[in-house]
Amino acid sequence: MRTKSQYLCILILILLVLFSCTKKSVLSPTSSPVLILTAIPTATAVSAAGSDAYENDDTFLNAKTITVNAPAQHHNFYDSCDNDYIKFFAVSGTYYTIQTMNLGGTTDTKITLYSTDGTTVISSNDDYSGGVASRITWTAAASGTYYVKIVEYYCHYGANFTYDIMVTAP
Ligand SMILES: [Ca+2]
Ligand SMILES: [Ca+2]
């Protein structure tokens, strides 16, 4: 009799363990898709809503023209480690200032000036004058189309990571 009741107890325990395991395995697949579904639209919305009028400008081949001494262009970093290229025509012997300003939120720009081949670095600047905006001053040695790449130093992106860029000459 004792043995029988012991067997019965063991059987009940096994059933309880099985039941609790089944319950868990049923619960976990239902809870994880909910988390995935809420995460995906948020990430998509940030990148889709964030792109500015100058995209795609991720390589020097897709660089968008900026007119010297024209009002600043307003851009933003729309995806992680976004590269923004602009190009302008420089006249030999002319002194140019290329600078970012009106940085949105915690945006930290870095700019690089490239020669007419789009790949040879002439100069680059991360921060100037104690801020996180960037500025390059440069005298063109030869006339031609030059390129500037603008990046967010920490690869941040989204609606709050905005900047203005301007090229000026006397
Ligand atoms: Ca870009
Ligand atoms: Ca900077």
Region of 81 please: left (phi>0), alpha (psi -120 to 50) or beta.
left
CA of 162 to the centre of ligand 1 (A): 12
CA of 68 to the centre of ligand 1 (A): 20
- From first to last of its 170 residues, what are the pLDDT tens digits of the chain? 456 666 655 655 555 555 554 444 444 444 444 444 443 333 333 344 478 999 999 999 999 999 999 999 999 999 999 999 999 999 999 999 999 999 999 999 999 999 999 999 999 999 999 999 999 999 999 999 999 999 999 999 998 999 999 999 99
CA of 69 to the centre of ligand 1 (A): 22
75, containing H or E segment: strand 73-76
Query: Which neighbouring-strand residues pair with 100?
Result: 165
DSSP-derived secondary structure for 104-163: -TT--EEEEEE-TTSSSEEEEES--TTSS--EEEEE-SS-EEEEEEEEETT---STT-EE
Within its chain, how far is the Cα of 7 from the centroid?
A: 63
9, containing H or E segment: helix 2-50
> Residue 36's pLDDT is what?
42
CA of 57 to the centre of ligand 1 (A): 5
CA of 90 to the centre of ligand 2 (A): 24
Residue 144's closest CA among 93, 102, 103, 88? 88
Residue written as token pair 């001494």: 69
CA of 71 to the centre of ligand 1 (A): 20
Is-above-0.75 flag for pTM?
A: no
CA of 46 to the centre of ligand 1 (A): 15
